[in-house]
Amino acid sequence: DAGITQSPRHKVTETGTPVTLRCHQTENHRYMYWYRQDPGHGLRLIHYSYGVKDTDKGEVSDGYSVSRSKTEDFLLTLESATSSQTSVYFCAISRLGTHNNDGYTFGSGTRLTVV
Amino acid sequence: ILNVEQSPQSLHVQEGDSTNFTCSFPSSNFYALHWYRWETAKSPEALFVMTLNGDEKKKGRISATLNTKEGYSYLYIKGSQPEDSATYLCAFPHGSSNTGKLIFGQGTTLQVKP
């Protein structure tokens, strides 16, 4: 989507290896989020950021860490990938947060397969 | 745990039919209610963000209403077209702090047959 890109788009990795997914935005939005999408579970929040170096956990944060050293980049790291982390990962950005008249803009997603 | 429920889970209609589906959310501590449209192989796109009880928003043939006192929102599609086929998600902010934690429902998948 315009203004937000995710990389890589697809990745296959082995169990036990570390993996980092990148979300890059050019909108200068304050809020950034990582979700995973799984059949039967919909979209579930992993971690989010409300500013540079300000992050917090979502509902399914175990096994994941994040970093945001500058406004435009939000990195999601799987410290030691497991098969249960095979999923499609979506990054989203928001200018005003969720309480205001400002919806999320989503990235195109990263399909991660852990073998 | 916050629960956002959508019904029905899926819907099949003929082209030209009008349809509607429901999103239910906790009626206490309301801040906003989001609707998204998610086409297959694409990313979710924001349709509406509703913040006031009685709010009604419209985008082309799609409209939404909000009842914060009873905790529900309806999404209406008038004269459905095949290009309306998608999953429609509603989402509710979790927590009083305006920092995120948007909790999504499982979605209603609409299939419009030509």
Centre a 10 Å sphere on the Cβ of residue A70 and count the other Cβ atoms it contains.
10
Contact B31 A99 (CB under 8 A): yes
Lowest mean pLDDT among A35-49, B8-22, B76-90, B96-110: B96-110
The string of DSSP letters for chain B reads ----EEE-SEEEEETT--EEEEEE--SSS---EEEEEE-TTS--EEEEEE-STT-EEEETTEEEEEETTTTEEEEEESS--GGG-EEEEEEEE-SSSTT--EEEP--EEEEEE-
CA angle at A19 for the pair A18 and A20, rounded to the nearest 5° = 130
Q: B36, B45 in Cβ contact below 8 A? A: yes
Taking the Cβ of residue A88 and every Cβ of chain B, the question of whether any pair is shorter than 8 Å is answered with no
Helix (H, G, I), strand (E, B) or coil at A2: coil
In chain A, residues with a C-beta closer than 8 Å to the C-beta of B44 are 43, 90, 104, 106
Q: How far apart are CA B108 and CA B112, in angstroms?
A: 13
In chain B, residues with a C-beta closer than 8 Å to the C-beta of A102 are 49
User: pLDDT digit string (tens) for B33-80?
Assistant: 999 999 998 999 999 999 888 899 999 999 999 999 999 999 999 999
Q: What was the pLDDT predicted at B2? A: 66
